[in-house]
Amino acid sequence: MTWLATLRRYAGLYGALWRNSVTRELQFKLNFILWIVVELLWFALQLAFMSVLYSHTESIGGWSKWEVVLLVGCANFVQQLFTALFLVNLTDLSEHIRTGRLDFMLLLPVNTRFLISLRKVDLGSYVNAAAALAVMVWAGSRLQLSPSFGQFVGFGALCLVGLMIHYSLMFLLSSIAFWTVRAQGIVWGYYNLFNIARLPESAFPAGAFRVVFTFLLPMLLVANVPAKVMVQKLSSPGEWLLLVFMGVACYAASELFWRISLRHYTSASS
C-alpha cells in the first residue's frame, strides 16, 4: 500500500470518527452549549485579568497591553485546538487500559495511537478557538498590524508545532497509566499548566523556572513564539528553530515511551 493510499484510508477513517462525534454531541445539545459558554467566560476572565494588570502599568516584560491580549488569544487558540482534537481521548486512555478496551483496539487493523488520539472530537472547542482568533484580530487592529503572507504562514505553522508539543507531552503522561491504575490526575495537572503559556516569556526572571518551562515543559514557547511572529518581536530565527526542535523531540519521546509502555502491557485479563 502506497503512502497516498494509506493517507486516504486514514482520512476516511477520521471522517467516520468525526461523524460519530457530531452525532454524539447533538444528543446532548444543552451540555454542548453550556460548555462553550463556560469556556468563553473563562477566556473573558483571563482578558479582564490582563486589563487589571495594565491599569497599573504600561508594559510587562517589554510587552504592551494589546500585545499581551494577542498573546492570550494565541495561547487560548492553541489550547482550544488541542482540546477539540485530543484532550478527551488522552484522558480516556487509562479507562481503556483498566476496562480492557485497549485489548480490542490493539487487534484492529489500524494504528492504535491514531485511534486512541483521535477517536472523539470536542466540537465546542472549535467555537472557542474561533473566538480566540477573533480576539487576536481585534488586538492586531488596535496595534495597527499589517502582517505579510509569510507572517500568516509562519504563525499557522508554529501554532501547529505548539499543538504537537502539547499533544506529545500529554500523550506521554497519559501512557503512565500502563504502570498506574489511573493517570487522569497527572494529565489534568499538565492541562492546568497551560496558563503559563499566556504570559510573556520575558516577564519571568532568568533561572530554573524559565529553563524548566522552556526545555523540559516548553510552555513558554508554544504561544510566545507564534505571537512574536505576528507582533514582530522575533530577534533571531533561534526561537522558532528551538520551538520546532522541541516539537520533534517531544513527539519522539512520546513515541518511544508509548512503545515501551505497550511492551510492558500484558492485557487487562492478565
pLDDT tens per residue across all 270 residues of the chain = 587 888 888 889 888 888 888 887 777 777 778 878 888 888 898 899 888 988 888 888 889 999 999 999 999 999 999 999 999 899 899 888 888 889 999 988 899 999 999 999 888 889 899 999 999 999 999 999 988 999 999 999 999 999 999 999 999 999 988 888 676 677 777 877 888 888 888 888 888 888 888 888 898 899 999 999 999 888 778 899 999 999 999 999 999 999 999 988 877 555
Q: Round to whole Å and give the CA distance between 184 and 152.
A: 36
Q: Is 181 inside any structural domain?
A: yes
Q: Is 269 inside any structural domain?
A: no
Q: Is 1 inside any structural domain?
A: no
Query: Do 162 and 226 form a contact (C-beta atoms < 8 A)?
Result: yes
Look at the alpha carbons of 223, 229, 233, 236 in this order and tell me if their dihedral is positive or negative: positive
CA distances from 236 to 20, 172, 242, 243 (A): 45, 31, 11, 13
Backbone phi, psi, residue 110, to 5°: -150, 155
Q: Is 155 inside any structural domain?
A: yes
Q: Is 270 inside any structural domain?
A: no
What type of residue is 180? T
Query: What would you report as the CA-atom Rg of the chain, rounded to the nearest whole angstrom?
Result: 20
Q: Round to whole Å and give the CA distance between 154 and 195.
A: 23
Residue 135 confidence (pLDDT): 95
Residue 269 confidence (pLDDT): 58
Q: Is 90 inside any structural domain?
A: yes
Other CB atoms within 10 A of residue 197 CB: 25
Residue 76 confidence (pLDDT): 93
> Per DSSP, which regions of the chain are E strands?
none
**Count of structural domains within the chain:** 1
Q: Is 228 inside any structural domain?
A: yes
DSSP state of 55: T
DSSP state of 137: H
Containing domain of residue 141, as a range? 9-264
Q: Round to whole Å and give the CA distance between 141 and 36.
A: 25
Q: Is 55 inside any structural domain?
A: yes
